Amino acid sequence: MLSFDGLVAVCVLYVAMLFGIAFLAEKRAAEGKARWLSSPITYTLSLSIYTTAWTFYGAVGSAVRNGLEFLTIYLGPTLVFIGWFWLLRKMVRIGRAQRITSIADMISSRYGKSGGLAALVTVLAVLGTTPYIALQLQSVTLSFSVFARPGAFGAPDTEQTAIWVAAGLALFTIVFGTRSLDVNERHPGLVSAIALEAIVKLTALLAVGIFVVWGVADGPADMLARIEASPVSQSSWNGARWLGLSVLAGAAILCLPRMFQVLVVENSDERHLATAGWAFPLYLLLISLFVVPIAVVGLELHGPGANPDLFVLTVPLGLGQDGLALLVFLGGFSAATSMVIVAALALSTMLSNHIIVPVWLRLSRHDDPMSGDMRRVALTARRLSIGGVLFLGWGYYRLSGGTDALAAIGLIAFLGVAQILPALLGGILWRGATRIGAAMGIGSGFLIWAWLLLLPNLAETGGGLPVLFEAGPFGLAWLSPATPLGLAATDPLLTAMVLSLGVNTFLFILGSLVSFPGPLERLQGAQFVNVYDHSRPLYGWQGVAGAADDLLIMAQRILGTGRAGRLFQAAAEAQGRTGGVPEPTPDFLERLERELAGSVGAATAHAMVAQIIGGASVSVRDLLAVADETAQIMEYSSQLEAKSAELAQTAARLREANAKLTELSRQKDAFLSQISHELRTPMTSIRAFSEILMQADPVDDAARARFSRIIHDESLRLTRLLDDLLDLSVLENGRVTLNETEARLSDVLDRAIYAAGAMAEDGRLAIRRDRAEEAVALWTDADRLAQVFINLISNAQKYCDAAQPELTISVRQLPGRVEVEFADNGTGIPPRQQSLIFEKFARADTARGAPGAGLGLAISREIMARLGGGLSYVPSGGGARFRVRLPARALRAA
Amino acid sequence: MGGRILLVEDEGNILEAIGFILSRAGWEVQGHGNGATALDAVARTGPDLIVLDVMLPGRSGLEILRDLRARPETAELPVLMLTAKGQARDRETALELGANAYLTKPFSNADLLATVTRLAEARAATGRG
């Protein structure tokens, strides 16, 4: 016999192999290579998680206690798969079409995406599944203890076993169940691992059965004789219980969260269901084939005192078949682990989607549920849920392990999830079913079930039924779970089943009849009930004859004649037909639809093809999808419009910039032309007079002196012009360095008047000043300011046309600034030229012939701008009047 | 060679220089500094030849030229244009408007004299003046 350590080693190896298989499957699936993954056999094998460790070991135990009653657990599902195959197919189709992620999602989607219903179903599922997980942990622990012999690590600790198994399963489920948040929610690695485990458990049971029939007995005939003689065949037959248990098992296969997960969510191809329709019942048949022989031989070997639940294991062990026993152990281990893994995965999806994430969203007020952040939250919620579910299962096992309560909880759990059945069936088959009805049905069934079965069972776990359950609350006997409605419940399970499902169904129908469905509910109701009209099978179109010409016309309209012709021609050739019109086979229709979708969107393409081949009417859902696509196109076109408006704006800005550049270029040309003129004019005089002086033809001394003087003056004029140009360039480029110091306004004016030569004895221009006003302290560049004053004074000298020219300089102190005005008594500047005088080279007409290039005022204005003030012409009735404005910061206390 | 020349030029020094040169060559020179009244001066003095600056206060030399060509009595009057802008476009405009010759400032005295002489001879050859 194996030591405990050896057993642990085998388990670890086995689990490592499962990890390997799962990893390999994920990798192959990602590469799109795994054909065996998408085989109907894999699908069927994954369905076998229905047979858990409870049935793996417990069926033999049940056969010993109650005869053939264990068969009901297999009978119900078999009847569902054979008789209600159409219902399974409809569920799978709905699941695919609506992208259903769990049984709770199914119910919630059908009833108008109700969050409350989803949460209710989730709670029900958790309550119904947790004890089941505890059962699996118990069976693993029990099977360990059968093998338990003290090893190198001392006596085995069964408590330790349970917790390690739970932790290992949590890890496996997290690794392969929450890799990503895919819309399809399929887990190829996980499914292939449980398919392998299905083979292991079937092989183990068959091996024990064959050993028992041909190894212990002498073949089937001897076996039948032994069965005849065994107490197993003496059990009475309880018809009501048979019926009840079969219905319960049938309901469970539809409603159990883990079954829904493998049956609907993990389904990758609807056609797989057809294979499962006969293969799964066959699997159940095979797994139950040798239950009775094992039970009979077990009783013969170990007697009625032994635990019949472990006969599968103890029969080969007792006969010294250690290898066979190990295989059985691995089979039971597989049954337990595969159930726990899928159950934890299904529950975590429900808990995360319908309880944790909605609550988190409400608490954190996140308004973008599609963000990456949200996905991370959902994944974390699932991982935590998996851990939480397994912890709950382990906790329940610690509380109730080994008690009758745990043994009984299997069927109780079945009845719990069966409360979903009326709402599920009604939702699929009856458009009139409403959310109110579903909530009333599930809610009432749940309460009755909890009161009659779950709470007493939980109470029993604590040791004995409290008075509350014995006598009923407030002493009301009809409320007691022991005697509900005054019935003496001989079989509490059956009583509770009839009561809970009866009330559930009644209230569901009643609630649906009296309440009115919302618009979303009605739409979803139609989607579910008439799912075949609204969705297409996974594998494409049903071929419809005779529509090819219409399809060609439509395709030409959308794809263009050339492309449509080529498409049809190629398809016809591939089908071996002449004439260029292919048979509208499903493959061809699918291809055509894809091509059309590229132009008009998937939903529209589907609707158009559907219209022509008449296979299905265009549903509301199709129309909604078309509307969605149209909205997207409109969105796109409005984006285009925005882009084009943006472009127009850019173009306008470019035109503006271009106009500005053109204007600058024109100004530059004009400026160069002006400079040319201003340079050439003095040069003309200089050249003409110097040539005169150079000629042999003599001129008199007076003329020579005069000509030399002119040449000299014009040279100075050229120099001044160049100085001014450089000055202006420096000022305009802002490269001027200001030398700011403290200065008195009166001193600056003195200097300017002196430099302008206006103090000279022969000065024509009389200057009037008020020295008291001028006592203003400034902080400025005194040289530059003087330059401005000089320019204004010499302008007056040059241009004032009065008989007695006079320049009045007045100073005004205003808040924040000081103004100096230069006003002469001439005729002033004509209004139409006032705006031009500050332009470069712009001399007023009257100034023609006067020296100067016309840069003085332009320079002065630039200087004042640099000094933070300004220079302006003040229009007045009298002579020219210029105002120099000095800024506040140039002002110092007088 | 002799005759009356009307010299329309706003720069006093240039007026003096050209006047001196042409006078010494035997011409009778009348100076005039304003564009606006140049046509009156032409009518008053009846010159044999006009030396006309382009940039004039009051009225541009090109406008004056156009008016001269528009009037029958001055349509054939030889006109020498002077400009300080030195751009090819000005020269073309002037010749299109009917200027007989064109000089860019600064010019050499010899060029000035040669041009004036050529224009006077050409006019003499047509049998007028």
A822: which strand partners? A809, A882
- B94-102 mean pLDDT: 89
pLDDT confidence bin for A543, thresholds 50/70/90: very low
Quote the minimal CA–CA distance from B14 to chain A in Å: 5
On the question of pLDDT at A858 being above 70, the answer is yes
Question: Is the preceding peptide bond at B106 cis, omega within 30 degrees of 0?
Answer: yes
- Which of the listed residues A502, A528, A554 is the one where a domain comes to its end? A528
Quote the minimal CA–CA distance from A673 to chain B in Å: 6
pLDDT confidence bin for A407, thresholds 50/70/90: low
Interface contact B85-A683, CB threshold 8 A: no
> Could you report the per-residue pLDDT of B45-74, keeping only the tens digit for each?
889 999 999 888 778 888 999 999 998 888
- Candidate CATH numbers 3.40.50.2300, 3.40.50.300, 3.40.190.80, 1.10.3130.10; the one for domain B3-124: 3.40.50.2300
Residue A534 lies in a domain: no
**Pick from A677, A686, A687: CB nearest B84:** A677
> Could you report the per-residue pLDDT of A697-721, keeping only the tens digit for each?
778 888 899 999 999 999 998 888 8
Residue among B53, B54, B82, B105 with most chain A CBs within 10 A, to mutate: B105
Q: Which domain holds residue A407?
A: 4-528
On the question of pLDDT at A521 being above 70, the answer is yes
Quote the minimal CA–CA distance from B107 to chain A in Å: 7
Quote the minimal CA–CA distance from B76 to chain A in Å: 28
Share of chain A above pLDDT 70, in %: 83
* Residue (of A867, A872, A839) closest to A853 by Cα position: A839
pLDDT confidence bin for A867, thresholds 50/70/90: confident
Residue A733 lies in a domain: no
Domain containing residue A704: CATH number:
1.10.287.130
Q: How much is the pLDDT for B78?
A: 92
A867 within 8 A of A886, measured Cβ to Cβ? yes
Query: CB atoms < 10 A from the CB of A713, how many?
Result: 15
> Could you report the per-residue pLDDT of A784-801, keeping only the tens digit for each?
898 899 888 888 888 888
Query: How many structural domains comprise chain A?
Result: 4
A852 Cβ neighbours under 8 A, 6+ residues apart: A720, A794, A798, A843
Interface contact A680-B18, CB threshold 8 A: no
pLDDT confidence bin for A847, thresholds 50/70/90: very low
A15 Cβ neighbours under 8 A, 6+ residues apart: A168, A172, A337
C-alpha span between B41 and B17 (Å, rounded): 20
Residue of A nearest to B113 (CA): A688
> Could you report the per-residue pLDDT of A135-192, keeping only the tens digit for each?
888 888 888 877 765 444 444 566 677 777 788 888 888 877 776 655 456 788 888 8
A11 within 8 A of A168, measured Cβ to Cβ? no
Chain B residues with CB inside 8 Å of A688's CB?
A: 14, 17-18, 21, 106, 109
On the question of pLDDT at A34 being above 70, the answer is no
A743 & A697 share domain: no
**Pick from A684, A691, A710: CB nearest B105:** A684
A308 within 8 A of A195, measured Cβ to Cβ? no
pLDDT confidence bin for A10, thresholds 50/70/90: confident
Least confident of A7-11, A296-300, A480-484: A480-484
A824 within 8 A of A806, measured Cβ to Cβ? yes
Give burial (CB, 10 Å; 0-12/13-18/19+) of A13. exposed
On the question of pLDDT at A624 being above 70, the answer is no
> Could you report the per-residue pLDDT of A454-494, keeping only the tens digit for each?
888 777 766 555 655 655 555 555 566 666 665 655 677 88
On the question of pLDDT at B21 being above 50, the answer is yes
Does B25 or A582 have the greater pLDDT score?
B25
Interface contact A673-B109, CB threshold 8 A: no
pLDDT confidence bin for A370, thresholds 50/70/90: very low
Residue among A713, A715, A718, A848 with most chain B CBs within 10 A, to mutate: A848
Chain B residues with CB inside 8 Å of A686's CB?
A: 106
Interface contact A677-B55, CB threshold 8 A: yes
Q: Where are the alpha helices (DSSP H) in A148-302?
A: 158-177, 188-210, 220-229, 239-255, 257-260, 272-289, 291-302
> Could you report the per-residue pLDDT of A823-839, keeping only the tens digit for each?
988 888 887 777 777 77
C-alpha span between A857 and A242 (Å, rounded): 117
Quote the minimal CA–CA distance from A653 to chain B in Å: 33
On the question of pLDDT at A852 being above 60, the answer is no
Residue A679 lies in a domain: yes
A121 & A234 share domain: yes
**SS in 3 state form for B40-51?**
HHHHHHCCCEEE
- A435-451 mean pLDDT: 91
Chain A residues with CB inside 8 Å of B107's CB?
A: 684, 687
Could you give the C-alpha distances from A139 to A394, A648, A758, A859, in angstroms and in order?
12, 76, 123, 104
A780 & A868 share domain: yes
Could you give the C-alpha distances from A564 to A574, A578, B116, in angstroms and in order?
15, 16, 87
C-alpha span between A422 and A418 (Å, rounded): 8
Residue of A nearest to B34 (CA): A848
> Could you report the per-residue pLDDT of A62-109, keeping only the tens digit for each?
888 888 888 888 889 999 988 888 888 888 888 877 778 888 888 888
Chain A residues with CB inside 8 Å of B105's CB?
A: 680-681, 683-684
The residue ranges of every structural domain in chain B are 3-124
DSSP secondary structure letters along A89-123: HHHHHHHHHTT--SHHHHHHHHTTS-HHHHHHHHH
A679 & A718 share domain: yes
- A213-241 mean pLDDT: 82
**Pick from A691, A710, A848: CB nearest B13:** A710
Share of chain B above pLDDT 70, in %: 96
Secondary structure of residue A540 in the 3-state scheme: coil
A695 & A748 share domain: no
Q: How much is the pLDDT for B20?
A: 92
Could you give the C-alpha distances from B85 to A636, A670, B59, B106, in angstroms and in order?
59, 10, 16, 10
Residue A535 lies in a domain: no
Q: How much is the pLDDT for A444?
A: 93
* Residue (of A868, A875, A865, A859) closest to A891 by Cα position: A868
C-alpha span between A148 and A153 (Å, rounded): 12
Secondary structure of residue A891 in the 3-state scheme: strand
Query: CB atoms < 10 A from the CB of A639, how many?
Result: 10
Q: How much is the pLDDT for A473?
A: 58
pLDDT confidence bin for A845, thresholds 50/70/90: very low
Q: How much is the pLDDT for A696?
A: 76
DSSP secondary structure letters along A782-841: HHHHHHHHHHHHHHHHHH---SS-EEEEEEEEETTEEEEEEEESS----HHHHTTTTSTT
Q: What share of chain B is helix, strand, coil (3-state, %, to 5)?
A: 45, 20, 35
A126 & A87 share domain: yes
Residue A533 lies in a domain: no
- Which of the listed residues A618, A638, A663 is the one where a domain comes to its end? A618
Q: How much is the pLDDT for A25?
A: 83
A300 within 8 A of A230, measured Cβ to Cβ? yes
> Could you report the per-residue pLDDT of A316-356, keeping only the tens digit for each?
888 888 888 888 888 988 888 888 888 888 898 888 888 88
A101 within 8 A of A272, measured Cβ to Cβ? no
A241 & A209 share domain: yes
* Residue (of A376, A203, A216) closest to A302 by Cα position: A216
DSSP designation for A882: E
> Could you report the per-residue pLDDT of A239-289, keeping only the tens digit for each?
888 888 899 889 988 999 999 988 888 887 788 888 888 999 999 999 988
On the question of pLDDT at B10 being above 80, the answer is yes
DSSP designation for A407: H
Residue of A nearest to B15 (CA): A685
Residue A156 lies in a domain: yes
* Residue (of A445, A451, A394) closest to A417 by Cα position: A445
Give burial (CB, 10 Å; 0-12/13-18/19+) of A514. exposed
Secondary structure of residue A780 in the 3-state scheme: strand
pLDDT confidence bin for A876, thresholds 50/70/90: confident
Q: How much is the pLDDT for A850?
A: 46
A746 & A847 share domain: yes
Q: How much is the pLDDT for A200?
A: 92
Q: Which of A627-641, A734-748, B91-105 has the highest mean pLDDT?
A: B91-105
Domain containing residue A171: CATH number:
1.20.1730.10
Interface contact A681-B21, CB threshold 8 A: no
* Residue (of A86, A97, A87) closest to A527 by Cα position: A97
Chain A residues with CB inside 8 Å of B108's CB?
A: 687, 691
A608 & A633 share domain: no
Residue A342 lies in a domain: yes
Interface contact A681-B104, CB threshold 8 A: no
- Which of the listed residues A493, A528, A563 is the one where a domain comes to its end? A528
Query: CB atoms < 10 A from the CB of A398, how many?
Result: 13
Please say whether the dihedral angle defined by the alpha carbons of residues A568, A572, A573 and A575, taken in this order, is positive or negative: positive
A809: which strand partners? A769, A822
A629 within 8 A of A601, measured Cβ to Cβ? yes
Residue A840 lies in a domain: yes
* Side chain identity, residue A343: A
C-alpha span between B18 and B29 (Å, rounded): 9
pLDDT confidence bin for A651, thresholds 50/70/90: very high
Q: What is the mean pLDDT of chain B?
A: 87
Residue of B nearest to A852 (CA): B11
B81: which strand partners? B52, B102
Interface contact A691-B108, CB threshold 8 A: yes
A311 & A342 share domain: yes
Interface contact A710-B14, CB threshold 8 A: no
- A721-739 mean pLDDT: 81
Could you give the C-alpha distances from B64 to A174, A842, B14, B37, B68, in angstroms and in order?
101, 22, 20, 10, 6
Q: How much is the pLDDT for A619?
A: 58
On the question of pLDDT at A207 being above 70, the answer is yes
On the question of pLDDT at A893 being above 50, the answer is no
Secondary structure of residue B4 in the 3-state scheme: strand
A611 & A522 share domain: no
Q: What is the mean pLDDT of chain A?
A: 80
